[in-house]
Amino acid sequence: METEQASELVPHGDPFAIFEQWFAQARESEPNDGNAMALATATRDGLPSVRMVLLKDFGPDGFVFYTNRNSRKGQQISENPNAALLFHWKSLRRQVRIEGPLSQVDDATADAYFASRSRDAQYGAVASDQSSPLESRAEFIDRFEQARARSEGRDVVRPPHWTGFGVRPVSIEFWHDRSYRLHERRLFTLRDGEWTSSLLYP
């Protein structure tokens, strides 16, 4: 047991390679949405909020998700373009925390991802004024059906307010559950374009 606890499961190395390996394993082992992540944003005054979103792409340039720019989170991103992400993969007893500034993807990237979505998901993006008050569920369904009717027989045009954002990481922390709460944590930090890392006490 002492040898097992002294060994390191998260070595120093390329944090994106480590994440790619963990993410692939999570997609295999998690029963639902292995790409789900908690996204924390804040207002200009620093008041925080958090919600679950889906990771759609990742790499050194950012961990990308898509949303309505006019939503609550979109407004907070506009006011305070910094965010934190948390992946929790219970099946693997692992977590990954990511922090960094946010930037919007270009129109071509947003168009390409929007085109890859199902037609119904596209209609939903067109119909929804995300985070705005809704009088009734029936109103939303009616708007959905109107969007479907308008786009019959042709491509659905991406709404200009529907786009993607990438969190460009300046820190990535890997956490692995261990027996007796002797958990393992390794924090990678970007300094002068190079990644350094150190273990943290759990």
- Integer CA distances (angstroms), 146 to 58, 125, 142, 143, in order: 34, 12, 6, 5
Mean pLDDT of 135-139: 94
In a domain, 148, yes or no: no
Cα distance between residue 144 and residue 153, in whole Å: 16
Per-residue pLDDT tens digits for 56-86: 999 988 999 999 999 999 999 999 999 999 9
Residue with tokens 């460009």: 168
Q: What CATH number does the domain containing 34 carry?
A: 2.30.110.10
Q: Alpha carbon 124 to chain centroid distance? A: 20
Within a domain: 63: yes
36-46: pLDDT as tens digits: 999 999 999 99
Domain count, the chain: 1
Domain limits at 171? Answer: 2-106+163-200
Q: Is residue 133 part of a domain?
A: no
Report if residue 48 sits inside a domain: yes
> Is residue 157 domain-resident?
no
Domain assignment of residue 87, yes or no = yes
Catalytic residues: 181
pTM: predicted TM-score of the whole model, two decimal places: 0.91
Q: Please check whether residue 123 lies inside any domain of the structure.
A: no
